[in-house]
Amino acid sequence: MTPDPARTTIRQVAVEGGQVSVTWRDGHCSRYHAFWLRRAHERSRPDGPNGTAQVLAKGSDGRVGIAAAGVTSEGDLEVTWQSDSSVSRYEAAWLREHCYSAAERARRRRPLRLWGASIAERLPQSDYVSVQEDETARLALYEQVLDCGFSLVRGVPARHGEVLAAATVFGLVSPTPYADDPKDPELENIRVDARVPVNTRKCDFLGPHTDTCWRGSLSGLIYLHCLKAHGQGGETLLVDGFTAAERLRAEAPEAFAVLSEVPLNFAAKVTNGDDWRARGRVISLGPDQEVCGLRFNAGSIHQLDLPEALIEPVHSALERFQEALNDEALWLKIALLPGDLLVIDNQRVLHGRTAFDPSQGDRHLQTCSTRRDEFHNRYRHLARKCGHEDWNRELSWGVI
Ligand SMILES: [Fe+2]
């Protein structure tokens, strides 16, 4: 991508209140704090820190002072430091790319497509063979998952274990502690089995939830691959948790604040003695208060272990959020057919299931998971290779 020269040409520089103010040719004004510039300077040095603590050269007053700032003959920013008169240079294009004004930070984020039930009319979907053979089709699939939090891939051969091969389009498949067969440590079956007392082996209604809330790092992308469809029920429910969270923010801001601020205990006990525990906020927010991740499963939220003053607000907030999630106007119901594969961002889109009668037919899905960061890394590789200008946009972080 060729940068717009008006965006990357410095028109004027001034030092104001310990910050450097840069006015660009397109009229935008960026302000760079001395600390920020100093950190950038340290990072740009060949022997600069890489994940180690940095020593900032401070003046006698304990501040990192700027003596002067100007534009070099090449059009870059030059800063002279008060403490030792050393000079730092910052490439103009780099400086603009990292401007941290609210407008530029918002511009760098990849916009999300929040959705409700009407997304059924324009379902994000793709064809498995194309995704495997054609990088453009694969990139389109990646973008659907980034923008909508899910995609339906058709034509994935309805055979045992194929979900593992399909998931490698997005990343390395993570082992699960509940694999059915030790020879396939990443694979789980979703099929009625009275001997296994977990929700994936039942046939009753299952409300919208994110998987593995009881793990410190919950599953990133999850895959539901249909091998056998039930004729009359067992539809898969999807809910855009970000849409529900935004509704909560608009209609019950106090509940939204509680769920985004108070960490709760999540837990899962398993009959084999496993005792998983994790702590986290239901709603994760980024630095601009943008919703970026969800951790919610009503069945995994442990007994509240909080200061007394929080018991009632937390209980009420959870009820309000669950109400929003259970509004069918937000539900996408999909009757998966053999060969269908749902790719779901487990930290944004919640999934569930309608009830079905197992005596009327079998329903068999297979599932596995991969990590979100690995998917994002692959996306950036491919988008850059395909020349997509927005490959460098900031992607939704997930649960933080
Ligand atoms: Fe689940």
Q: What is the pLDDT of residues 11-53, one digit of tens each?
A: 999 999 889 999 999 999 999 999 999 988 766 555 544 444 4
Q: What pLDDT score does 43 carry? A: 60
- Report how far residue 231's alpha carbon sits from residue 36's, in angstroms, rounded to the nearest whole number: 60
Q: How far is the CA of 351 from the centre of ligand 1 (A)?
A: 6
Q: How far is the CA of 179 from the centre of ligand 1 (A)?
A: 14
Closest alpha carbon to 88 in 31, 17, 40, 18: 40
Q: How far is the CA of 110 from the centre of ligand 1 (A)?
A: 27
Q: How far is the CA of 221 from the centre of ligand 1 (A)?
A: 12
Q: What pLDDT score does 360 carry? A: 82
Q: How far is the CA of 363 from the centre of ligand 1 (A)?
A: 15
Is the pLDDT score of 298 beyond 80? yes
Q: What pLDDT score does 49 carry? A: 45
DSSP 8-state assignment for residue 185 = T
Q: How far is the CA of 352 from the centre of ligand 1 (A)?
A: 7
Structure tokens at 323: 């109400």
- Report how far residue 236's alpha carbon sits from residue 150's, in angstroms, rounded to the nearest whole number: 13
Q: How far is the CA of 133 from the centre of ligand 1 (A)?
A: 30
Region of 62 on the Ramachandran plot (φ > 0 left; ψ -120 to 50 alpha; else beta)? left
User: Please, which pLDDT band fits residue 56 given cuts at 50, 70 and 90?
Assistant: low
Mean per-residue pLDDT, 258-285: 95
Q: Which residue has the higher pLDDT, 196 or 239?
A: 239
Q: How far is the CA of 298 from the centre of ligand 1 (A)?
A: 12
Q: How many CB atoms lie within 10 A of CB 2?
A: 5
Q: How far is the CA of 87 from the centre of ligand 1 (A)?
A: 56
Q: What pLDDT score does 153 carry? A: 98
Q: How far is the CA of 290 from the centre of ligand 1 (A)?
A: 25
User: Please, which pLDDT band fits residue 300 given cuts at 50, 70 and 90?
Assistant: very high
Q: What pLDDT score does 140 carry? A: 98
Q: Which residue has the higher pLDDT, 271 or 79?
A: 79
User: Please, which pLDDT band fits residue 228 given cuts at 50, 70 and 90?
Assistant: very high
Q: What pLDDT score does 198 carry? A: 74
Q: Give the domains, in start order, of the chain with CATH numbers.
A: 5-106 (3.30.2020.30), 117-385 (3.60.130.10)
The whole-chain average pLDDT of the chain stands at: 92
Closest alpha carbon to 367 in 189, 153, 185, 175: 189
Q: How far is the CA of 210 from the centre of ligand 1 (A)?
A: 6
Q: How far is the CA of 123 from the centre of ligand 1 (A)?
A: 21
Mean per-residue pLDDT, 60-67: 76
Is the pLDDT score of 190 beyond 50? yes
Q: What is the pLDDT of residues 129-159, one digit of tens each?
A: 999 999 999 999 999 999 999 999 999 999 9
Q: Torsions phi, psi of 162, nearest 5?
A: -65, -25
Q: How many CB atoms lie within 10 A of CB 64?
A: 20
Q: Which residues surround ligand 1, an ion (CB under 5 A)?
A: 211
Q: What is the pLDDT of residues 251-270, one digit of tens each?
A: 999 999 999 999 999 999 88
Q: How far is the CA of 383 from the centre of ligand 1 (A)?
A: 30
Q: What pLDDT score does 57 carry? A: 57
Q: How far is the CA of 211 from the centre of ligand 1 (A)?
A: 5
Where do we find the tokens 């089709």? 137
- Report how far residue 135's alpha carbon sits from residue 88's, in angstroms, rounded to the nearest whole number: 42
Is the pLDDT score of 3 beyond 90? no
Is the pLDDT score of 364 beyond 50? yes
**Which amino acid, residue 392?**
N
Q: What is the pLDDT of residues 310-360, one digit of tens each?
A: 999 999 999 999 999 999 999 999 999 999 999 999 999 999 999 878 888
Q: How far is the CA of 190 from the centre of ligand 1 (A)?
A: 9
Q: How many CB atoms lie within 10 A of CB 85?
A: 9
**Which amino acid, residue 386?**
C
